[in-house]
């Protein structure tokens, strides 16, 4: 019996994790510049949190959730997205009471969706996302968008396209909803069964359908932007002005609707326009979700956020040839030539590490030559050689691998010597 990783998941081996860590630290540093602080919520939540907030006519809730019953009979779901859990925590911990509003949070963690595996689409993937909760200022919409763009640009990506749209407020959406029903109803028989269900429940979802994407009625469907009331149109105008003030380029796409129900007003996506990127071009998606807090039992707390997966981020870096160079280096490698030297080496190794020096030695009883090769492979800055003579003199041979110079150093002074030489 051979075991394999479950379909849609993957192991990240050390060659990969270095790249991940580089991207993760760039993300954390960018969040610090914008004063977003990290929040970590559980991997699973009560199922109802997602059915209520994400919406029960969405693909996520209908087809993609990993839902299970625990031994106590509770229905739990592996989180498919991060916004609902963060808003749940915001309400539960009464963060709306903090003097610092909006509350600005970020998260980075595994999400789970039962999807068909393809490039850039996994069943377990890692999303980095931010949420700014408590402010209805259009300037914070622009800040959130700018943070996402900044993360990509600081990583060196250039082939980016920002697409924005406004979904309007409740009143605008209601007017648009009616127009959509009028538009699709006469020919709804030509659409998939999901769309037929969506028609009365949530016709906006039809525009997001992956099956009927090519149907001619899709392109001619009434655009949300034509149904914005004055307040919503003015809000969208202010968001655009703030983006202009930040010098961020964008295109408005009136057909951009997002795959989750809780969005209103600003919606946006960032795409990769790089040739090498492949079929799925969306790197990041986000939007405003006024009303979500109330929907899950909290006070009024307008919010906006986005999510991007690290997997697609790395694909874009690969496509643009901007993958971070990561090299694991060792400060010192101890080559020990016999049994007694090995015992001394163990002691020295302990000392070096206590002094903050990254060090290793051979544990395979290898010959000197093979040990030297191991030191080379591990890119050791210094090789410390201990044999019979060295033991007798209480001093090791130290070779600087960068310039080939050698010296003899007392065992007790190895740490300070290495520090002063590097």
Shortest distance, CB of residue 152 to ligand ATP, whole angstroms? 11
Shortest distance, CB of residue 391 to ligand ATP, whole angstroms? 56
Site for ligand ATP (CB under 6 A): which residue of 312, 320, 380, 383? 312
Shortest distance, CB of residue 259 to ligand ATP, whole angstroms? 4
Site membership for ligand ATP, residue 277 (CB under 6 A): no
Q: Which residues does residue 406 pair with via DSSP β-bridges, in sequence order?
A: 399
Site membership for ligand ATP, residue 305 (CB under 6 A): no
Site for ligand ATP (CB under 6 A): which residue of 27, 243, 308, 374? 308
Q: Tokens 């209601």 — which residue?
A: 174
Element (H, E) at 371: helix 368-377
Shortest distance, CB of residue 68 to ligand ATP, whole angstroms? 19
Site membership for ligand ATP, residue 134 (CB under 6 A): no
Site membership for ligand ATP, residue 125 (CB under 6 A): yes
Site membership for ligand ATP, residue 115 (CB under 6 A): yes
Per-residue contact flags (x/-) with ligand ATP for residues 53 to 92, judged by CB under 6 A: ----------------------------x-----------
Q: Choose between 157 and 372: whose C-beta lies nearer to ligand ATP.
A: 157
Element (H, E) at 67: strand 66-69
Angle at 399 between CA 395 and CA 401, to 5 degrees: 160
Give residues with Cβ within 8 angstroms of 83, minimum separation 6.
Answer: 53, 129, 131, 260, 262, 289, 292, 303, 305, 307
Site membership for ligand ATP, residue 147 (CB under 6 A): no
Task: List strand residue ranges (DSSP E) for 141-263, in order.
Answer: 160-166, 251-252
Q: How many residues bind ligand ATP (CB under 6 A)?
A: 19
CB 217 within 8 A of CB 206: no
Residue 71, classed as helix, strand or coil, is coil
Q: How far apart are CA 160 and CA 277, in angstroms?
A: 11
Site membership for ligand ATP, residue 122 (CB under 6 A): yes
Rounded to 10°, the helix 138-154/14-33 angle is: 140
Encoded tokens for 45: 């939540």
Site membership for ligand ATP, residue 285 (CB under 6 A): yes
Candidate ranges 24-32, 112-120, 295-303, 373-381; the one touching ligand ATP (CB under 6 A): 112-120
Q: How far apart are CA 24 and CA 30, in angstroms?
A: 10
Candidate ranges 113-121, 185-193, 357-365, 406-414; the one touching ligand ATP (CB under 6 A): 113-121
User: Rule CB under 6 A: which of 313-352 touch ligand ATP?
Assistant: none
Site for ligand ATP (CB under 6 A): which residue of 217, 248, 280, 358? 280
Nearest to 374 by CA among 336, 415, 340: 336
Shortest distance, CB of residue 35 to ligand ATP, whole angstroms? 23
Give residues with Cβ within 8 angstroms of 322, minimum separation 6.
Answer: 155, 156, 157
Residue 97, classed as helix, strand or coil, is helix
Nearest to 291 by CA among 266, 263, 257, 268: 263
Site for ligand ATP (CB under 6 A): which residue of 103, 105, 132, 284? 284
User: Rule CB under 6 A: which of 245-274 touch ligand ATP?
Assistant: 259
Give residues with Cβ within 8 angstroms of 115, minimum separation 6.
Answer: 8, 64, 121, 122, 123
Q: How far apart are CA 122 and CA 120, in angstroms?
A: 7
Site membership for ligand ATP, residue 307 (CB under 6 A): yes
User: Rule CB under 6 A: which of 192-221 touch ligand ATP?
Assistant: none
Shortest distance, CB of residue 166 to ligand ATP, whole angstroms? 17
Binding site for ligand ATP (CB under 6 A): 81, 113, 115, 120-122, 125, 127, 259, 280, 282-285, 307-309, 311-312
């Amino acid at each position: 019996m051979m075991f394999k990783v479950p379909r849609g998941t993957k192991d990240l081996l050390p060659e990969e994790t270095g790249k991940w860590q580089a991207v993760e630290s760039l993300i954390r540093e960018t969040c610090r510049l914008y004063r977003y602080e990290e929040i970590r919520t559980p991997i699973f939540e009560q199922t109802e949190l997602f059915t209520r907030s994400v919406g029960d006519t969405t693909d996520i809730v209908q087809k993609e959730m990993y839902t299970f019953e625990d031994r106590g009979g509770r229905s739990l779901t592996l989180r498919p997205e991060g916004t609902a859990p963060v808003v749940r925590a915001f309400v539960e911990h009464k963060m709306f009471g903090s003097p610092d509003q909006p509350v600005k949070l970020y998260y980075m963690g595994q999400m789970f969706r039962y999807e068909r595996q393809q490039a850039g689409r996994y069943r377990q993937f890692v999303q980095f996302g931010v949420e700014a909760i408590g402010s209805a200022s259009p300037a914070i919409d622009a800040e959130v968008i700018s943070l996402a763009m900044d993360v990509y640009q600081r990583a060196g990506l250039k082939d980016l396209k920002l697409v924005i749209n406004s979904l309007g407020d409740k009143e605008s959406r209601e007017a648009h909803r009616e127009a959509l029903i009028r538009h699709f109803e006469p020919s709804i028989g030509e659409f998939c069964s999901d769309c037929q269900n969506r028609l009365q429940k949530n016709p906006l979802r039809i525009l997001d359908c992956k099956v009927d994407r090519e149907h001619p009625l899709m392109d001619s469907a009434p655009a949300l932007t034509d149904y914005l009331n004055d307040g919503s149109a003015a809000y969208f105008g202010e968001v655009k002005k703030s983006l202009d003030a930040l010098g961020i380029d964008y295109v408005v796409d009136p057909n951009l609707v997002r795959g989750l129900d809780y969005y209103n007003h600003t919606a946006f996506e960032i795409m990769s326009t790089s040739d090498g990127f492949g079929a799925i071009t969306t790197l990041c998606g986000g939007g405003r979700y006024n009303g979500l807090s109330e929907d899950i039992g909290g006070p009024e707390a307008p919010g906006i956020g986005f999510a991007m997966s690290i997997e697609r981020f790395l694909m874009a870096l690969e496509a643009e040839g901007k993958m971070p160079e990561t090299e694991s280096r060792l400060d010192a490698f101890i080559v020990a030539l016999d049994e007694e030297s090995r015992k001394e080496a163990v002691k020295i190794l302990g000392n070096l590490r206590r002094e903050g020096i990254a060090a290793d030695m051979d544990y395979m009883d290898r010959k000197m030559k093979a040990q030297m090769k191991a030191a080379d492979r591990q890119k050791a800055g210094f090789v410390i050689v201990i044999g019979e003579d060295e033991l007798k003199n209480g001093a090791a041979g130290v070779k600087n691998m960068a310039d080939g110079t050698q010296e003899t150093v007392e065992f007790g002074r190895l740490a300070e010597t290495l520090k002063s030489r590097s």
